[in-house]
């Protein structure tokens, strides 16, 4: 299997960084998310170096939705990243992590008035998704006596080879303003008293394993950039979004384009566009998955084995902790962490503990003979893993551990049953009268 550098197999055990997964599971129990800090740093550096080799004024905005743990945000903030924030909550987290307001972009197709007011108050640029939102933001900024710095989210109508639920730049998707209507949107923004258009933004989708769609989107964007620059818009940044995929199918030797492949395919088009427009804005990109997905594994313990229609391995993590397989039929590699050096001899289906037939983490995988008490590692769970978890079936969420060289520490404690009821209230009419 084509394992990332920080995952190794030693004496039949799967190791992550300098840690034996068996020891980690013994210390913190299962299920358990484990994240390698160095891996995140290496991925960030690869992006930064690849883009900087092609253009000097680059900013990487980490897509905080991929993994919103404060410790993860702090790693990236420390390396100089800003963030794509998609809610007031993500905005708060990014600021708490030490990111500067001007290095964030408040994205989203459905922002509330309080979202807009918060962006104005904190001085965070807003990616405006509709003319209605533009007008509301102008009003909010006027009320606060401030100028809101904005970009428009362009819908470039680019088809992308990915799961339809995560293709975001199709003409039919809910995101952005159709590319041919964008110049008139800037015209209106220029006429607003409390809005200043300073950027332009797009994002075409996620888990994209080719660079061509990004290049096509960039071409659409640069045509608009030329047009709006001529209209007098002074662009400080062009944000081309995130979306580069990772090779989840490691067993088949799948590969993904590297940040360098991306930079070589996309940045020259950006450079040509800005040269023709006679401007030199910053180039922003918003990677999420490619920064954090492969940094984490989900460790889950085997509760029982049930030979039936399929050979079921019943584990203690299900779609409450990792919804991607159930939601997008996503593939995550599975390793028997305490038998990692043994050959696969038996076909197993890894089933979670949730009361739904769709609660399957992986179908029909060849693994060594398993029994209760074994440890399973689910790979590449650092993006949209814990971030999309729930307490469904009243299961407290598991802890998350962060590794830094030989150190290991909680970056989120596990929930307990008390956390299940912590936000619940007993309505007064249910209180006993005595």
Chain residues binding ligand LLP by CB under 6 A are 63, 66, 84, 107, 166, 168, 203, 206-207, 241-244, 286-290, 324, 328, 383-384
CA-angle at 149, arms to 56 and 65, nearest 5° = 75
Minimum distance, C-beta of residue 331 to ligand LLP, in the bound complex (Å): 11
Instruction: Report the interhelical angle of 182-191 vs 131-144 (nearest 10°).
Output: 20
Q: Using DSSP, state whether 173 is helix, strand or coil.
A: coil
Minimum distance, C-beta of residue 251 to ligand LLP, in the bound complex (Å): 19
In the complex with ligand LLP, the residue whose CB is nearer, 160 or 398, is 160
Minimum distance, C-beta of residue 358 to ligand LLP, in the bound complex (Å): 16
Scan for tokens 């950006």, then name that residue: 270
Task: Provide the residue count of the chain.
Answer: 434
Positive or negative torsion for Cα 17, 19, 22, 25: negative
Q: The tokens of 384 are what? A: 């949209």
In the complex with ligand LLP, the residue whose CB is nearer, 31 or 287, is 287
The catalytic residue positions are 355
In the complex with ligand LLP, the residue whose CB is nearer, 348 or 386, is 386
Minimum distance, C-beta of residue 324 to ligand LLP, in the bound complex (Å): 5
- Using CA atoms, how far apart are residues 257 and 213, in angstroms rounded to an integer? 12
In the complex with ligand LLP, the residue whose CB is nearer, 61 or 235, is 61
Q: Are strands 346-351 and 360-367 parallel, antiparallel or unpaired?
A: antiparallel
User: What does DSSP assign to residue 310?
Assistant: S
In the complex with ligand LLP, the residue whose CB is nearer, 84 or 133, is 84
- Using CA atoms, how far apart are residues 137 and 78, in angstroms rounded to an integer? 31
Q: Which of 377, 385, 381, 380 is nearest to 334 (CA)?
A: 377
| Residue 207, phi-psi category: left (phi > 0), alpha (psi -120 to 50), beta (remainder) | left
Q: Using DSSP, state whether 213 is helix, strand or coil.
A: helix
Q: The tokens of 238 are what? A: 């062009």
Q: The tokens of 180 are what? A: 């041919």
In the complex with ligand LLP, the residue whose CB is nearer, 7 or 83, is 83
Q: Where are the beta strands (DSSP E) in 142-248?
A: 148-155, 177-178, 195-202, 237-239
Minimum distance, C-beta of residue 346 to ligand LLP, in the bound complex (Å): 29
Minimum distance, C-beta of residue 273 to ligand LLP, in the bound complex (Å): 20
- Using CA atoms, how far apart are residues 195 and 217, in angstroms rounded to an integer? 26
- Using CA atoms, how far apart are residues 374 and 370, in angstroms rounded to an integer? 7
- Using CA atoms, how far apart are residues 399 and 98, in angstroms rounded to an integer? 23
- Using CA atoms, how far apart are residues 333 and 318, in angstroms rounded to an integer? 15
In the complex with ligand LLP, the residue whose CB is nearer, 28 or 152, is 152
Minimum distance, C-beta of residue 138 to ligand LLP, in the bound complex (Å): 22
């Amino acid at each position: 299997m084509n394992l990332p550098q920080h995952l190794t197999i030693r004496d039949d055990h799967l190791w992550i960084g300098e840690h034996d997964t068996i020891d980690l599971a013994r210390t913190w129990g299962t299920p358990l998310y484990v994240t390698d800090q160095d891996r995140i740093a290496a991925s960030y550096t690869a992006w930064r170096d690849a883009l900087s080799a092609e253009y000097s004024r680059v900013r990487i905005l980490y897509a905080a939705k991929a993994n919103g743990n404060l410790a993860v945000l702090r790693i990236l903030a420390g390396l100089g990243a800003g963030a794509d924030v998609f809610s007031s909550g993500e905005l708060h987290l990014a600021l708490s992590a030490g990111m500067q307001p001007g290095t964030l972009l408040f994205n989203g197709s459905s922002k509330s008035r309080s979202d807009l007011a918060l962006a104005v108050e904190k001085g965070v640029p807003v990616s405006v998704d509709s003319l209605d939102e533009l007008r509301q933001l102008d009003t909010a900024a006027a009320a606060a006596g401030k100028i809101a710095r904005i970009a428009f989210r362009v819908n470039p109508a680019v088809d992308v080879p990915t799961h339809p639920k995560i293709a975001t730049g199709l003409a039919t998707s809910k995101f952005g303003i159709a590319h041919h209507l964008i110049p008139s949107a800037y015209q209106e923004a220029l006429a607003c008293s409390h809005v200043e258009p300073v950027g332009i933004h797009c994002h075409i989708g996620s888990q994209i394993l080719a660079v061509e769609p990004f290049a096509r989107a960039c071409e659409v964007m640069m045509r608009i950039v030329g047009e709006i620059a001529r209209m007098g818009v002074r662009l400080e940044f062009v944000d081309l979004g995130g979306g580069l995929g990772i090779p989840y199918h490691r067993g088949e030797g799948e590969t993904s384009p590297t940040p360098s492949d991306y930079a070589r395919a996309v940045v020259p088009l950006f450079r040509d566009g800005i040269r023709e427009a006679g401007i030199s804005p910053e180039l922003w990109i918003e990677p999420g998955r490619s920064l954090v997905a492969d940094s984490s594994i989900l460790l889950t313990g085997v509760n029982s084995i049930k030979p039936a229609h399929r050979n079921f391995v019943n584990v203690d993590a299900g779609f409450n902790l990792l919804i991607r397989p159930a939601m997008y039929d996503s593939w995550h590699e599975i390793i028997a962490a305490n038998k990692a050096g043994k050959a696969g001899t038996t076909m197993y289906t890894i089933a979670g503990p949730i009361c739904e037939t769709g609660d399957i983490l992986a179908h029909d995988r060849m693994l060594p003979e398993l029994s209760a008490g074994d440890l399973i590692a689910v790979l590449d769970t650092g993006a949209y893993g814990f971030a999309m978890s729930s307490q469904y079936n009243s299961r407290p969420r598991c802890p998350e551990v962060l590794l830094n060289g030989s150190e290991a520490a909680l970056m989120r404690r596990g929930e307990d049953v008390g956390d299940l009821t912590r936000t619940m209230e007993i309505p007064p009419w249910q209180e006993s009268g005595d």
